[in-house]
Structure 1
Amino acid sequence: MRFLLDECVGPVVARWLQNLNHDVISIYDTNRGIADQQVLQKAVQEKRILITNDKDFGDMVIRKKKKHCGIILLRLEDERSSNKVAVLTNLFEKYSDDLSDTFVVVSESGVRIIKKK
């Protein structure tokens, strides 16, 4: 899969995804500090699923109906990289076929998938 990681996700998650042979670009490494709108635009232009901790993206795509290719919003109590990897592992094992063009909210207690209308 093709992912764009928002700068808040971190380099450990980026390396983990790359080790799984995913195509990964990290805003932290390439465009640190750009506005959320630019992050979303980059994800759309490059046809990448955005992984983020920033719930402003939910507002953009749910309420404002901004175009996207898929967003995974990490809503975690434990923000350590090891926990991010654990919840993403669970997500990929159960829902990897359902991630494109969806808005996915992932927490330690579950997954909520919102399909585009």
Structure 2
Amino acid sequence: MKEKFKLDENLPEAALALFRKNNFDAVNVTEEQLAGATDECILTVCGNENRVLVTQDLDFSDITLLGRTEIPGIIIFRLKSQSREAVIETLEKLIPLLKENSATGKIMIVSENRIRIREV
């Protein structure tokens, strides 16, 4: 089964478009009326929908989240600039990795020059 993704509200619409352009099943919290929802709510929804969360919110970097929740995986963008351009440029580097490797069971910390993967 192909992985599904949910993009947090702190990512630009262009990020969602890039996921979809690359044939990923992706939605964002805004189109599902979850903007402003608590972290716990987002985690629950991602778990219920079996979606990997993609976010810039460092609150989700706790490695124990995967063991304490039903969320399949988390991808966190930790960029010096959170501009639309910086996010899209970094996402364009990440997409080929996601096509070849599963994000399930992992927290991936993505920076401009590196991707750290913590497996649970």
TM-score category (smaller protein): 0.7 to 0.9
Unaligned 5+ runs, structure 2: none
Residues 51 and 73 in structure 1, CA contact (< 8 A), matched pair in contact too: yes
Compared CA separation, residues 70 and 63, structure 1 to 2 (3 A): closer
Please, which runs of 5 or more residues in structure 1 have no aligned partner?
Answer: none
Are positions 1:109 and 2:88 aligned together? no
Matching residue of 1:89: 92
In 2, Cα distance between equivalents of 1:94 and 1:55: 21
Amino acid at match of 1:72: I
Confirm or deny that 1:18 pairs with 2:20.
yes
Q: How does 1:1-117 map to 2 (within 5 A)?
A: 1-30=3-32, 31-59=34-62, 62-63=63-64, 65-67=67-69, 68-94=71-97, 96=99, 97-116=101-120
Whole-angstrom distance in 2 between the partners of 1:111 and 1:98: 14
| Partner Cα distance (2:45, 2:75) in 1 | 15
| TM-score of the pair, normalised by structure 1 | 0.87
Residue deviations 1:69-111, cap 9 Å, x none? 0100000012122221221222232354141220000001211
What is the alpha-carbon distance in structure 2 between the residues aligned to residue 27 and residue 95 of structure 1?
Answer: 20
Structure 1 pair 26/94, CA: closer, same or farther in 2 (3 Å)?
closer
Q: Which amino acid aligns with 1:89?
A: E
Task: Name the amino acid aligned to 2:40.
Answer: Q
* Cα distance in 1, alignment partners of residues 106 and 77 from structure 2: 14
Which whole-Å CA distance do the structure 2 matches of 1:95 and 1:6 have between them?
Answer: 17
Contact 2:15–2:91, Cα closer than 8 Å, also in 1? no
In the aligned structure 1, how far is the partner of 2:42 from the partner of 2:35?
10
Deviation at 1:66, TM superposition (A): 2.4
Q: Among all aligned residue pairs of Structure 1 and Structure 2, give the percentage whose two residues are the same amino acid.
A: 26
State the TM-score, normalized to the length of structure 2: 0.85
> What is the total number of aligned residue pairs between the two structures?
114
